[in-house]
Amino acid sequence: MSLVKDKTVLISGGTGSLGKVLTRRLLNDQANLPRKIIIFSRDEAKQHFMRVEYQQKNRVTDEIIYEDFHRLVEFRIGDIRNYHSVCSVLDGVDVVINAAALKQVPSCEYFPYEAVQTNIVGAYNIVQAIKEHKFPIHTVVGVSTDKACKPINVMGMSKAIQERIFIAANITVPSTRFICVRYGNVLASRGSVIPLFHEQIKNGGPVTITTADMTRFLLSLDRAVDTILTAMEEASPGEIYVPKVPSARIVDVAKALIGSRPIETVYTGIRPGEKVHEILVSEEEAWHSFPRGDYYVIKPMLPELWKPALNETPLTKEYSSRDNVLSLEQITELLKSHNLDIDSEIKYDGEFLR
Protein backbone atom coordinates (compact mmCIF):
# COMPACT_ATOMS: atom_id res chain seq x y z
CA MET A 1 0.00 0.00 0.00
CA SER A 2 1.35 3.41 -0.92
CA LEU A 3 2.35 5.78 1.86
CA VAL A 4 0.18 8.56 0.37
CA LYS A 5 -3.02 6.58 -0.27
CA ASP A 6 -5.96 8.33 1.41
CA LYS A 7 -3.49 10.71 3.11
CA THR A 8 -3.09 14.48 3.02
CA VAL A 9 0.15 15.46 1.27
CA LEU A 10 1.64 18.94 1.60
CA ILE A 11 4.05 20.16 -1.09
CA SER A 12 5.75 23.36 0.01
CA GLY A 13 6.99 25.33 -2.98
CA GLY A 14 4.48 23.26 -4.91
CA THR A 15 4.10 25.69 -7.84
CA GLY A 16 7.67 25.06 -9.01
CA SER A 17 8.67 22.67 -11.78
CA LEU A 18 9.19 19.78 -9.36
CA GLY A 19 5.94 20.44 -7.48
CA LYS A 20 3.92 20.38 -10.69
CA VAL A 21 5.33 17.06 -11.89
CA LEU A 22 5.02 15.55 -8.41
CA THR A 23 1.37 16.64 -8.24
CA ARG A 24 0.70 15.16 -11.67
CA ARG A 25 2.28 11.86 -10.69
CA LEU A 26 0.28 11.62 -7.48
CA LEU A 27 -2.93 12.35 -9.36
CA ASN A 28 -2.17 9.82 -12.09
CA ASP A 29 -1.80 6.92 -9.66
CA GLN A 30 -5.50 6.16 -9.38
CA ALA A 31 -4.94 3.11 -7.17
CA ASN A 32 -3.13 5.18 -4.54
CA LEU A 33 -4.76 8.59 -4.67
CA PRO A 34 -4.11 10.89 -1.72
CA ARG A 35 -7.10 12.24 0.15
CA LYS A 36 -5.80 15.74 -0.56
CA ILE A 37 -2.75 17.47 -2.03
CA ILE A 38 -2.00 20.90 -0.57
CA ILE A 39 0.08 23.26 -2.70
CA PHE A 40 1.70 25.71 -0.29
CA SER A 41 3.52 28.77 -1.64
CA ARG A 42 3.60 32.54 -1.41
CA ASP A 43 3.08 33.43 -5.09
CA GLU A 44 -0.62 33.84 -5.84
CA ALA A 45 0.01 34.28 -9.58
CA LYS A 46 1.80 30.94 -9.89
CA GLN A 47 -0.96 29.31 -7.88
CA HIS A 48 -3.56 30.79 -10.20
CA PHE A 49 -1.83 29.49 -13.33
CA MET A 50 -1.39 26.05 -11.74
CA ARG A 51 -5.07 26.04 -10.75
CA VAL A 52 -5.98 26.90 -14.36
CA GLU A 53 -3.83 24.03 -15.60
CA TYR A 54 -5.24 21.62 -13.01
CA GLN A 55 -8.83 22.50 -13.97
CA GLN A 56 -7.89 22.07 -17.66
CA LYS A 57 -8.97 25.53 -18.69
CA ASN A 58 -7.76 26.77 -22.06
CA ARG A 59 -7.07 30.38 -21.09
CA VAL A 60 -6.26 32.18 -17.88
CA THR A 61 -9.31 34.36 -18.48
CA ASP A 62 -11.67 31.38 -18.37
CA GLU A 63 -13.95 31.30 -15.37
CA ILE A 64 -12.22 29.68 -12.41
CA ILE A 65 -14.27 28.15 -9.62
CA TYR A 66 -12.50 28.66 -6.29
CA GLU A 67 -13.93 25.68 -4.43
CA ASP A 68 -10.49 25.22 -2.97
CA PHE A 69 -11.35 23.20 0.11
CA HIS A 70 -13.71 20.84 -1.74
CA ARG A 71 -11.17 19.75 -4.33
CA LEU A 72 -8.47 17.10 -4.33
CA VAL A 73 -5.81 19.74 -4.98
CA GLU A 74 -6.00 22.61 -2.53
CA PHE A 75 -3.99 25.83 -2.87
CA ARG A 76 -2.78 27.63 0.24
CA ILE A 77 -1.08 31.02 0.22
CA GLY A 78 1.64 31.18 2.84
CA ASP A 79 5.36 31.46 3.45
CA ILE A 80 7.67 28.71 4.68
CA ARG A 81 9.68 31.49 6.35
CA ASN A 82 6.75 32.45 8.59
CA TYR A 83 6.33 30.15 11.57
CA HIS A 84 2.63 30.85 12.11
CA SER A 85 1.93 30.24 8.43
CA VAL A 86 3.71 26.88 8.64
CA CYS A 87 1.85 25.90 11.82
CA SER A 88 -1.46 26.65 10.14
CA VAL A 89 -0.82 24.64 6.98
CA LEU A 90 0.63 21.57 8.77
CA ASP A 91 -2.52 20.96 10.79
CA GLY A 92 -4.14 17.77 9.45
CA VAL A 93 -1.25 16.85 7.13
CA ASP A 94 0.21 13.32 6.97
CA VAL A 95 3.18 13.74 4.60
CA VAL A 96 5.30 16.84 3.90
CA ILE A 97 7.52 17.28 0.84
CA ASN A 98 9.59 20.43 1.31
CA ALA A 99 10.41 21.70 -2.17
CA ALA A 100 10.38 25.38 -1.16
CA ALA A 101 13.81 26.85 -1.87
CA LEU A 102 15.91 29.71 -3.06
CA LYS A 103 18.00 27.78 -5.58
CA GLN A 104 19.63 30.23 -7.99
CA VAL A 105 23.32 30.23 -7.09
CA PRO A 106 24.13 33.87 -8.01
CA SER A 107 20.99 35.20 -6.31
CA CYS A 108 21.91 33.43 -3.09
CA GLU A 109 25.46 34.83 -3.30
CA TYR A 110 24.15 38.39 -3.49
CA PHE A 111 21.36 37.89 -0.95
CA PRO A 112 22.70 35.23 1.44
CA TYR A 113 20.38 36.00 4.33
CA GLU A 114 17.35 35.50 2.07
CA ALA A 115 18.68 32.00 1.29
CA VAL A 116 19.09 31.38 5.01
CA GLN A 117 15.50 32.45 5.67
CA THR A 118 14.00 30.09 3.10
CA ASN A 119 16.37 27.14 3.04
CA ILE A 120 17.30 26.98 6.74
CA VAL A 121 14.66 28.81 8.77
CA GLY A 122 11.92 27.29 6.59
CA ALA A 123 13.09 23.77 7.43
CA TYR A 124 13.41 24.65 11.11
CA ASN A 125 9.86 26.03 11.11
CA ILE A 126 8.54 22.69 9.86
CA VAL A 127 10.37 20.74 12.56
CA GLN A 128 9.46 23.16 15.33
CA ALA A 129 5.79 23.29 14.33
CA ILE A 130 5.51 19.49 14.40
CA LYS A 131 7.28 19.34 17.76
CA GLU A 132 5.38 22.15 19.51
CA HIS A 133 1.93 21.23 18.24
CA LYS A 134 2.49 17.45 18.29
CA PHE A 135 1.18 17.14 14.75
CA PRO A 136 0.87 13.42 13.87
CA ILE A 137 2.83 13.78 10.63
CA HIS A 138 4.25 10.49 9.40
CA THR A 139 7.01 11.63 7.03
CA VAL A 140 8.86 14.80 6.06
CA VAL A 141 11.01 14.76 2.90
CA GLY A 142 13.65 17.46 2.46
CA VAL A 143 14.53 18.11 -1.18
CA SER A 144 18.24 18.89 -1.36
CA THR A 145 20.86 19.40 -4.07
CA ASP A 146 24.31 18.25 -5.13
CA LYS A 147 25.51 21.74 -4.18
CA ALA A 148 24.98 20.77 -0.53
CA CYS A 149 27.88 18.33 -0.88
CA LYS A 150 31.21 20.05 -0.03
CA PRO A 151 29.46 23.39 -0.57
CA ILE A 152 31.27 26.48 -1.79
CA ASN A 153 28.21 28.67 -2.40
CA VAL A 154 25.47 30.03 -0.15
CA MET A 155 22.78 27.98 -1.84
CA GLY A 156 24.70 24.75 -1.16
CA MET A 157 25.69 25.80 2.37
CA SER A 158 22.10 26.58 3.30
CA LYS A 159 20.86 23.31 1.81
CA ALA A 160 23.57 21.36 3.66
CA ILE A 161 22.33 22.83 6.94
CA GLN A 162 18.74 22.04 5.91
CA GLU A 163 19.76 18.39 5.53
CA ARG A 164 21.25 18.39 9.04
CA ILE A 165 18.17 20.07 10.53
CA PHE A 166 15.91 17.37 9.13
CA ILE A 167 18.26 14.52 10.05
CA ALA A 168 18.66 15.72 13.64
CA ALA A 169 14.88 16.17 13.93
CA ASN A 170 14.53 12.37 14.03
CA ILE A 171 15.98 12.55 17.56
CA THR A 172 13.96 15.50 18.87
CA VAL A 173 10.71 14.50 17.10
CA PRO A 174 10.92 10.68 16.96
CA SER A 175 7.24 10.25 16.11
CA THR A 176 7.91 11.69 12.60
CA ARG A 177 10.31 10.22 10.05
CA PHE A 178 12.55 12.89 8.50
CA ILE A 179 14.43 11.92 5.33
CA CYS A 180 16.10 13.73 2.44
CA VAL A 181 16.75 13.36 -1.27
CA ARG A 182 19.77 14.89 -2.99
CA TYR A 183 20.19 15.19 -6.75
CA GLY A 184 21.75 17.36 -9.46
CA ASN A 185 20.54 19.47 -12.37
CA VAL A 186 16.98 18.71 -13.40
CA LEU A 187 16.51 18.76 -17.17
CA ALA A 188 14.37 21.71 -18.28
CA SER A 189 13.39 22.84 -14.80
CA ARG A 190 12.69 26.54 -14.39
CA GLY A 191 15.94 28.54 -14.37
CA SER A 192 18.09 25.65 -15.60
CA VAL A 193 20.51 25.73 -18.50
CA ILE A 194 18.46 23.93 -21.18
CA PRO A 195 15.64 26.52 -21.33
CA LEU A 196 18.35 29.19 -21.46
CA PHE A 197 20.09 27.44 -24.36
CA HIS A 198 16.76 26.98 -26.16
CA GLU A 199 16.00 30.67 -25.87
CA GLN A 200 19.48 31.69 -27.03
CA ILE A 201 19.31 29.33 -30.03
CA LYS A 202 15.80 30.51 -30.91
CA ASN A 203 17.14 34.07 -31.01
CA GLY A 204 20.08 33.13 -33.20
CA GLY A 205 22.73 33.00 -30.49
CA PRO A 206 25.24 33.33 -29.14
CA VAL A 207 25.00 30.44 -26.67
CA THR A 208 26.79 31.36 -23.45
CA ILE A 209 28.91 28.75 -21.65
CA THR A 210 30.83 29.37 -18.45
CA THR A 211 33.81 27.07 -19.08
CA ALA A 212 34.60 24.19 -21.43
CA ASP A 213 35.41 21.81 -18.55
CA MET A 214 32.21 22.22 -16.55
CA THR A 215 30.22 19.02 -15.91
CA ARG A 216 26.83 18.48 -14.31
CA PHE A 217 24.63 15.55 -13.32
CA LEU A 218 21.52 15.29 -15.49
CA LEU A 219 18.16 13.83 -14.58
CA SER A 220 14.59 14.38 -15.70
CA LEU A 221 11.86 15.80 -13.52
CA ASP A 222 10.22 12.38 -13.49
CA ARG A 223 13.46 10.81 -12.23
CA ALA A 224 13.59 13.45 -9.50
CA VAL A 225 10.03 12.53 -8.53
CA ASP A 226 10.96 8.82 -8.63
CA THR A 227 13.70 9.57 -6.11
CA ILE A 228 11.26 11.29 -3.76
CA LEU A 229 8.63 8.55 -4.02
CA THR A 230 11.19 5.76 -3.57
CA ALA A 231 12.70 7.44 -0.52
CA MET A 232 9.22 7.89 0.95
CA GLU A 233 8.54 4.17 0.64
CA GLU A 234 11.97 2.79 1.61
CA ALA A 235 14.13 5.21 3.59
CA SER A 236 14.90 4.80 7.26
CA PRO A 237 14.92 7.92 9.48
CA GLY A 238 17.79 10.24 8.65
CA GLU A 239 18.76 8.65 5.35
CA ILE A 240 19.52 10.67 2.21
CA TYR A 241 18.60 9.10 -1.14
CA VAL A 242 20.83 9.94 -4.11
CA PRO A 243 19.89 8.72 -7.62
CA LYS A 244 22.45 7.04 -9.86
CA VAL A 245 22.36 9.37 -12.88
CA PRO A 246 24.62 10.25 -15.82
CA SER A 247 26.61 13.44 -16.13
CA ALA A 248 27.69 15.55 -19.08
CA ARG A 249 29.93 18.40 -20.08
CA ILE A 250 27.75 21.49 -20.41
CA VAL A 251 29.54 22.42 -23.64
CA ASP A 252 28.39 19.07 -25.10
CA VAL A 253 24.80 19.77 -24.02
CA ALA A 254 25.02 23.04 -25.94
CA LYS A 255 26.50 21.28 -28.99
CA ALA A 256 23.72 18.67 -28.94
CA LEU A 257 21.06 21.38 -28.89
CA ILE A 258 22.73 23.57 -31.54
CA GLY A 259 23.28 20.67 -33.95
CA SER A 260 24.26 21.89 -37.41
CA ARG A 261 22.99 25.43 -36.90
CA PRO A 262 25.55 28.21 -37.50
CA ILE A 263 25.33 29.53 -33.95
CA GLU A 264 28.29 30.92 -32.04
CA THR A 265 29.23 29.84 -28.52
CA VAL A 266 30.76 32.33 -26.11
CA TYR A 267 32.65 31.50 -22.92
CA THR A 268 31.72 33.87 -20.10
CA GLY A 269 33.65 32.48 -17.12
CA ILE A 270 32.41 30.79 -13.96
CA ARG A 271 29.68 32.69 -12.12
CA PRO A 272 29.93 33.57 -8.41
CA GLY A 273 29.76 30.44 -6.27
CA GLU A 274 29.88 27.88 -9.10
CA LYS A 275 31.94 24.70 -9.18
CA VAL A 276 33.49 23.17 -12.28
CA HIS A 277 32.30 19.71 -11.17
CA GLU A 278 29.47 18.83 -8.80
CA ILE A 279 29.51 16.04 -6.22
CA LEU A 280 26.57 13.99 -4.96
CA VAL A 281 28.47 11.92 -2.38
CA SER A 282 31.73 13.24 -0.93
CA GLU A 283 34.71 11.09 0.03
CA GLU A 284 33.94 11.89 3.68
CA GLU A 285 30.38 10.54 3.23
CA ALA A 286 31.45 7.49 1.19
CA TRP A 287 32.18 5.31 4.21
CA HIS A 288 28.54 5.48 5.29
CA SER A 289 26.99 5.47 1.79
CA PHE A 290 25.70 2.27 0.23
CA PRO A 291 24.21 1.20 -3.13
CA ARG A 292 20.51 0.38 -2.94
CA GLY A 293 19.03 -0.47 -6.33
CA ASP A 294 19.08 2.61 -8.55
CA TYR A 295 20.22 4.80 -5.67
CA TYR A 296 22.99 5.46 -3.21
CA VAL A 297 21.83 5.84 0.38
CA ILE A 298 23.77 8.07 2.75
CA LYS A 299 23.20 6.83 6.27
CA PRO A 300 23.11 9.38 9.11
CA MET A 301 26.31 9.86 11.11
CA LEU A 302 24.49 10.50 14.40
CA PRO A 303 24.96 7.37 16.55
CA GLU A 304 21.35 7.47 17.75
CA LEU A 305 20.18 6.96 14.14
CA TRP A 306 22.94 4.70 12.86
CA LYS A 307 21.90 1.21 11.79
CA PRO A 308 24.64 -1.22 10.77
CA ALA A 309 24.58 -2.22 7.12
CA LEU A 310 24.02 -5.93 6.52
CA ASN A 311 25.77 -7.48 3.53
CA GLU A 312 26.34 -4.00 2.06
CA THR A 313 29.63 -2.56 0.85
CA PRO A 314 30.15 1.19 1.23
CA LEU A 315 31.42 3.40 -1.53
CA THR A 316 35.17 3.80 -1.76
CA LYS A 317 35.33 7.23 -3.39
CA GLU A 318 33.27 10.34 -3.98
CA TYR A 319 30.45 10.34 -6.56
CA SER A 320 31.36 13.22 -8.88
CA SER A 321 29.98 14.60 -12.13
CA ARG A 322 33.45 14.33 -13.63
CA ASP A 323 33.03 10.52 -13.63
CA ASN A 324 31.08 8.56 -16.26
CA VAL A 325 30.55 11.56 -18.53
CA LEU A 326 28.23 10.95 -21.48
CA SER A 327 29.47 11.31 -25.03
CA LEU A 328 27.97 13.92 -27.36
CA GLU A 329 25.99 11.17 -29.10
CA GLN A 330 24.65 9.85 -25.79
CA ILE A 331 23.63 13.35 -24.71
CA THR A 332 21.79 13.88 -27.99
CA GLU A 333 19.86 10.64 -27.50
CA LEU A 334 19.09 11.52 -23.86
CA LEU A 335 17.65 14.90 -24.85
CA LYS A 336 15.60 13.33 -27.61
CA SER A 337 14.27 10.66 -25.26
CA HIS A 338 12.89 13.41 -23.04
CA ASN A 339 11.69 15.54 -25.99
CA LEU A 340 14.23 18.20 -25.09
CA ASP A 341 16.08 18.44 -28.39
CA ILE A 342 15.79 21.78 -30.12
CA ASP A 343 13.49 20.45 -32.84
CA SER A 344 10.80 19.52 -30.32
CA GLU A 345 8.11 21.83 -29.04
CA ILE A 346 8.98 22.43 -25.41
CA LYS A 347 6.76 23.89 -22.73
CA TYR A 348 8.29 25.63 -19.73
CA ASP A 349 5.69 26.73 -17.20
CA GLY A 350 3.21 27.96 -19.78
CA GLU A 351 5.54 29.23 -22.51
CA PHE A 352 6.32 27.29 -25.67
CA LEU A 353 9.79 27.46 -27.17
CA ARG A 354 11.13 25.95 -30.34
pLDDT at 189: 67
User: What pLDDT is recorded for position 51?
Assistant: 87
How much is the pLDDT for 324?
Answer: 86
pLDDT in tens, 296-335: 999 999 999 988 877 889 999 999 999 989 999 999 998 8
Is the whole model's pTM more than 0.95, yes or no?
no
3-state secondary structure of 153: coil
What DSSP letter does each residue of 172-236 carry, written as one string?
A: HSTTSEEEEEEE-EETT-TTSHHHHHHHHHHTT-PEEES-TT-EEEEE-HHHHHHHHHHHHHHPP
* Alpha-carbon dihedral sign for residues 298, 299, 300, 302: negative
Q: Report the chain's terminal Cα–Cα distance, integer Å.
A: 41
pLDDT means per 10 residues, the chain with 354 residues, are: 90 93 91 95 91 66 46 93 98 98 92 98 98 98 97 97 98 98 82 82 91 92 95 97 95 91 91 90 96 96 87 92 93 85 51 34
* Cα gap 15→12, rounded to integer Å: 8
Active site residue 147: yes
d(CA 243, CA 221): 12
Catalytic residue, from 20, 36, 147, 159: name it: 147
Rounded to whole angstroms, the Cα distance separating 194 from 185 reads 10
Question: For residue range 206-227, what is the model confidence (pLDDT) as tens digits?
Answer: 999 999 999 999 898 999 999 9
HSE, side-chain direction, 13 A CA sphere, residue 152: 10
Query: What structural domains does the chain harbor?
Result: 8-353 (3.40.50.720)
